[in-house]
Amino acid sequence: MKNWIPFSEEEYAQIWDRIHRDFKFEPSISKFPSFQVPQPFVTYDISDFFGESADLDAYDNLEERALDAFKECILDDEYILALNYQHDCFWVNPHLTFERDEWGEWKIPIFPNGDYYFFIHKDFKFGFLGHPWERSITIFGKEFINAFDKQKPSMFRKVLRHS
């Protein structure tokens, strides 16, 4: 099985249309939050992890914990949406190997350092949304939140909002 399967043009348009409609997604560098997700949700402040003084182990920890949560919430042969706003987007299966680029990152990073990075279940029942300017990560979906609660990433210390 292959991982990081690019969206077709039709998939790209349909999925982003749904995100704009269902999440009322309005990208902004100053108006926060830029989206509304279904309840329950938790938004974490990750501002301490931007810049040169950030704990580099925390990035690896976030990737590991996110993969664990994705795997717990989907079947072995299921794919989720991996979205990078206004860039290539992919279908990805957390149970398969996550190939990395020349900088050692996933094709779409889990940490929102420079763009909106979203990982969402194909039926939109849970998701992981990174906001680069608010410097936050929002997770939604009861089962998904519970999966993260078992082993919280070290970045998930400060809660900004929750329902």
Burial (CB count <10 Å: 0-12, 13-18, 19+), residue 18 = middle
Dihedral Cα 112, 153, 156, 44, nearest 10 deg: 40
pTM, full prediction = 0.94
- Angle between helix 56-73 and helix 142-150 axes, rounded to 10 deg: 130
pLDDT tens-digit map of 30-54:
889 999 999 999 999 999 998 876 6
In this structure, what token pair is assigned to residue 6? 């690019």
At residue 90 the predicted structure's pLDDT band, cuts being 50, 70 and 90, is very high
pLDDT tens-digit map of 103-162:
888 899 999 988 999 999 999 999 999 999 999 999 999 999 999 999 899 999 999 889
